[in-house]
A and B are shown apart, each in its own frame.
Chain A
Amino acid sequence: QKEVEQNSGPLSVPEGAIASLNCTYSDRVSQSFFWYRQYSGKSPELIMSIYSNGDKEDGRFTAQLNKASQYVSLLIRDSQPSDSATYLCAVNVGDYKLSFGAGTTVTVRA
């Protein structure tokens, strides 16, 4: 079993809709969870971090964490064409190492 699993996608949503991205992880002791956005040919860009159960909102992005279910999600509200990218879920392994999922590619249709 992979440490971090994501829906492979691609996920296609119309402009203005909500994009919902899911991620599950296997290590119960993980404490920190991150979402990175990666445009094609570019480096991963940190967009959200979440450490406690519940929701965390930042602009149009909401991260949700459920440690009991080992599940973290990212919602993108009012999706824009500029949100078209691959979204990587990352989970801490120990004090410094990140384990990444393979990413979910999102395409926002104008």
Chain B
Amino acid sequence: GAGVSQTPSNKVTEKGKYVELRCDPISGHTALYWYRQSLGQGPEFLIYFQGTGAADDSGLPNDRFFAVRPEGSVSTLKIQRTERGDSAVYLCASSLGSGPNTEAFFGQGTRLTVV
């Protein structure tokens, strides 16, 4: 497909478990972002990649959260020791480059439920 692809679409996990969420950006897009959206709220920034490196991870809530993008394309968001408060929709977006006028396009999200 031509859009941002995220897997799985839904993930239910037990408190304390480890989860990985995957994002496949639009082909050719060098910039990749992770956002988190809680019910009734707008997306909140987590981390930004330009190429393979995490250029800004200031939105990650704590050190249980980590993301990688080893080859500059697919990214994985990793959450250790999940907590019920981590339940949210995790959105991935990509853009052709970066800069203030850059348009970012979102994937369909992964709905994470921690029970």
Contacts and interface: CB of A to CB of B under 8 A. Distances in A.
Given A44-B91, A96-B33, A51 B101 contact: yes
Given A4-B42, A100-B42, A92 B109 contact: no
A96 B102 contact: yes
Interface residues of B, number: 28
Contacts of B91: 43-44
A6 B23 CA distance: 29
Nearest to A2: B42
B45 A102 contact: no
B98 interface: yes
B104 A46 contact: yes
A98 B106 contact: no
Contacts of A4: 42
Interface in A43-75: 43-46, 49, 51
A95 B98 contact: yes
B67 to A, nearest CB: 15
Nearest to B105: A46
Interface-centre pick from A31, A49, A96 (highest chain B CB count, 10 A): A96
A92 B44 CA distance: 12
A85 to B, nearest CB: 14
A28 interface: no
B56 A101 contact: no
B108 interface: yes
Which 5 A-B pairs give the minimum distances between C-beta atoms?
Answer: A100-B42, A96-B98, A31-B100, A43-B106, A92-B100
Interface of A: 4, 30-32, 34, 36, 42-46, 49, 51, 88, 90, 92, 94-103
